Chains A and B, each alone.
Chain A
């Protein structure tokens, strides 16, 4: 009994942090998949959009503190607009130019942040967690007698964001937007001659995808309390958000979820047991193995297995 009370907070704290990380990757993978998986346009700049979310929070926190929910909205708007702008400028070109431009975008943004002393420049910045608003505290207090810690609050928030992101992806997939994007992915010229307004659909997807990535980044500064450009623009974010949908399967909303849970849990275990450099190496190897051996991901494996049983 005493042991539980003493150890409880430490053990559970780690699990909360791990859960937060995995949920964050579900959101990022799902957001990436709206453009990449449905429309076939590879975005290498997820870290850039994520960092826009982080730094929106940091800037707002410094000049005009407000509840996290509004910071997330602001992050969504900023990242969505950057997505729209990048898309508008490069999506008329061959698809690969969009991919190269997103790669460039992330680096240009990172250089800007490194040279922007207001948000800490290359050294980074400490962020003070704002109090959880009274209404929310009362709400949680209704379920948990002792109230909740800030990390627990962030996890709850992330659960809500994950549900929102997955629901948005599902809605896109089943709507005319998803059908149009699928046609674009298969053959863009043929889609155009079938009446699919490809530029408009791609812009919708880029904006949505960017906005959700920004929202995923907004709570991050409060989660880590110290942010530097190397973390916010981290390679792990760019790689995971591509690897997770491709490993899970890009054609459906649940592919990125499965991929994020698989890769995310594997990485948590590996980080604890081996090292964090090794776990990224394994993500890279898994990505390449899946791309070559199972290009349709886990979804594809499940589907062919089902077909085989019929």
Chain B
């Protein structure tokens, strides 16, 4: 049990009677790299929202780092080390790129000194390759740069678990490789990563394990090659 950093059991979420998630179980080991796949509208984003506290599940419980966080507000989950990126980048538009990174450094990590925060932000910006753009507004960034900013902001929270929600959609092949390299580097530093992605090449390259959600139910969970050969997965997901 202690090897699981994140444990979600029986997560159910309904919208106006429509079941978006039905009793989904999910566990993430310390240091693991897991890919979460499923067709559009299958409930992946709802699942992420339930895990990170943006939505409250109707049923089920979530344990993170040996604490029950089912009722914990989103900001406290972030402080405890559960970070995410948004599928559609959501930068703080009124701030510079550096200030964007400084928000989680101040609030999630709890740094007080402006100098420490500024230096830490520089390090993170260099790591995600935005060091040159620190003083610019996010309004001028390209898609790949916005994704990097999302990742940088998630990293700045010093997470134990990083949930990367479609950080590669719409990127070129070399840009995908760039992000994958970054994710692998983070994983090597000890961060467990849940990658939600449509680009199968990236998922297969990255994941040690793959989970498939279709129509709000988990239909597969296992080694990438095994999962992809399961008949239901082929029918429900790849067949479409």
Contact = CB atoms under 8 A, between A and B. Distances in A.
A186 B102 CA distance: 14
A251 B102 CA distance: 18
Interface string A29-42: 00000000000000
Interface string A170-192: 00000010011011011101111
Interface residues on B, range: 20 to 34
Interface in B77-112: 78-79, 83-84, 86, 90-95, 99, 102-104, 106-109
A196 interface: yes
Contacts of A185: 94
B153 interface: yes
B103 A192 contact: no
A182 B94 contact: yes
Contacts of B84: 193
Interface in B103-132: 103-104, 106-109
State the majority secondary structure of interface residues on A: helix
A193 B153 CA distance: 10
A196 B54 contact: no
A194 interface: yes
Given A191-B103, A193-B84, A186 B92 contact: yes
A295 interface: no
Most chain A CB atoms below 10 A, which of B102, B106, B154: B106
B95 A194 contact: no
A56 interface: no
A192 B92 contact: no
Contacts of B95: 182-183, 186
Given A182-B95, A187-B92, A251-B94, A193 B103 contact: no
Most chain B CB atoms below 10 A, which of A194, A196, A251: A194
Contact of B83 (A191, A193, A197): A193
Contacts of B107: 176, 180, 183, 194-197
A267 interface: no
A193 B54 contact: yes
Interface string A49-70: 0000000000000000000000
Contacts of A162: none
A185 B93 CA distance: 9
B86 A190 contact: yes
A279 interface: no
B73 A197 contact: yes
Given A186-B93, A190-B90, A193-B54, A179 B74 contact: no
Contacts of A183: 92, 95, 103, 107
A198 interface: yes
Interface in B151-185: 153-154, 156-157
Interface of B: 52-54, 73-76, 78-79, 83-84, 86, 90-95, 99, 102-104, 106-109, 153-154, 156-157
Given A189-B54, A197-B73, 15 more contacts: A179-B99, A180-B107, A182-B95, A189-B86, A191-B75, A192-B54, A193-B75, A193-B84, A194-B153, A194-B156, A194-B157, A195-B78, A195-B79, A197-B75, A199-B73
